[in-house]
A and B are shown apart, each in its own frame.
Chain A
Amino acid sequence: MASDAPLNAQVNAQANALAHENILEAASEWLKSGRRVALATVVSTWGSSPRPVGSQLAVDDKGAMIGSVSGGCIEGAVVQEALAAIEDGKPRVLDFGVTHEQAWAVGLACGGKVQVYVERME
Chain B
Amino acid sequence: MKRDLLGALLAARAAKTPIAIATRLDTGAQALVGPTPIGGAQTRGDLALDADSLAAVRLALAGDTSGTIETPSGRMFVQVYNPPLRLIVVGAVHIAQALVPMAALAGYAVVVVDPRRAFATDARFPNTAVTTEWPDDAMTRLAPDRRTAVVTLTHDPKLDDPALTVALKSDAFYIAALGSRKTHDARLKRLKDAGFDASVLARIHGPAGLAIGAKSPAEIALSVMAQATQVLHAKAGTGG
Q: B68 touching A28 by the CB < 8 A rule?
A: no
Select A43's contact among B77, B106, B127, beta carbons within 8 Å. Answer: B77
A4: chain B residues at CB < 8 Å are 97-98, 124
* A54 close to B66 (CB less than 8 A): yes
Asked if B205 is an interface residue, CB under 8 A from chain A, the answer is no
Q: Which of B86-109 contact A (CB under 8 A)?
A: 94, 97-98, 100-101, 104-107
Type the 1/0 row for A1-40, where 1 means its CB is closer than 8 Å to any CB of B. 1001111110111111011110011011001000000010
Cβ of A24 and Cβ of B128 under 8 Å apart? no
Give B84's nearest chain A residue, CB to CB.
A21
Q: How far is the CB of B89 from the nearest CB of chain A, in Å? A: 13
List A contacts of B3 (CB < 8 A).
Answer: 31, 121-122
Name the interface size band of chain B: 20 to 34
Beta-carbon contacts under 8 Å, B46-64 to A: none
Interface size class of A (residues with CB under 8 A): 35 or more
Task: Please report the C-alpha to C-alpha distance between residue A90 and residue B128 in the assembled complex, in whole angstroms.
Answer: 42
B97→A1 contact, CB < 8 A: yes
Please state if A43 and B68 are interface contacts (CB–CB under 8 Å).
yes
Q: Out of B7, B25, B79, B97, name the residue touching A91 (CB < 8 Å).
A: B25
Residues of A contacting B234 in the complex (Cβ-Cβ under 8 angstroms)? none
Complex contacts, A15 vs chain B, CB 8 Å: 101, 104-107
* Nearest CB of chain A from residue B103's CB, rounded to whole Å: 8
Instruction: Check A54 against B128 for contact (C-beta < 8 Å).
Output: no
Q: Nearest Cβ in chain B — how far from A105, in angstroms?
A: 24
Chain A residues, CB < 8 A from B80: 54
Contact with B66, one of A6, A27, A53 (Cβ below 8 angstroms): A53
Given A8-B101, A12-B128, A54-B79, also A121-B1 (CB < 8 A): yes
Of B28, B100, B104, B123, the residue contacting A119 (CB under 8 A) is B28
Binding site for A on B (CB under 8 A): 1-3, 6-7, 9-10, 13, 23, 25, 27-28, 66-68, 77, 79-80, 84, 94, 97-98, 100-101, 104-107, 123-128
Sample (18) of A-B pairs whose CB atoms are under 8 Å apart: A4-B124, A6-B126, A8-B97, A11-B104, A12-B127, A19-B84, A19-B107, A20-B107, A24-B6, A25-B10, A41-B79, A43-B67, A54-B79, A91-B28, A117-B25, A117-B77, A121-B1, A121-B3
Across chains A and B, which 9 residue pairs bring their CB atoms closest together, nearest first? Answer: A54-B66, A11-B101, A15-B104, A91-B28, A9-B126, A12-B127, A15-B105, A43-B77, A4-B97
